Amino acid sequence: MVLLASFMSLLEAKKYLIVLDDVWTNNLWTQIEEALPDENNGSRVLLTTRSYNVAKHADPTRDPYELELLTKELSLELLLKKALPYQDPTNIANYNLFNYNLTRLTDSIKTLISDK
């Protein structure tokens, strides 16, 4: 509780932007929200989540902004641009093998998540 009190007093009377990425539960948002002072000074919290319910819980007055998922091709292109920024992804040796293995990996991850 001492840490929470210190955090709250640090933010009081200050303008802040806090980014919370991939919040999974309403309970987590509720706990975080309680720690944030509301000074009506323009402070903001940007929350990302895969859960429509968490987004609505965070702000029931607004509809969540829903992003479309990237295609496998665009996902691979983005990954390669970030991982190898100075190379043309289509000229990378073993590009097709990499694409095939990445596709198998992402399909496996989707299966694991959907089985929970």
Kindly report the number of other CB atoms within 10 A of residue 83's CB atom: 10
Query: Which pLDDT value is given to residue 9?
Result: 79
Indicate the helix (H) or strand (E) that contains 44: strand 44-47
* Token pair recorded at residue 61: 């007055």
- Residue 80 has, within 13 A of its CA and on its CB side, a CA count of 19
Taking all residues of the chain, what is their mean pLDDT, rounded to a whole number? 79
Single pTM value for the model: 0.58
Distance CA 87, CA 9 (A): 48
Domain boundaries, the chain: 2-58, 72-114
Q: Among 105, 82, 102, which Cα is nearest to 94's?
A: 102
Q: Pick 38 or 95 by higher pLDDT.
A: 38
Query: Which pLDDT value is given to residue 3?
Result: 76
pLDDT 10s digits, 37-58: 777 888 888 999 989 999 999 9
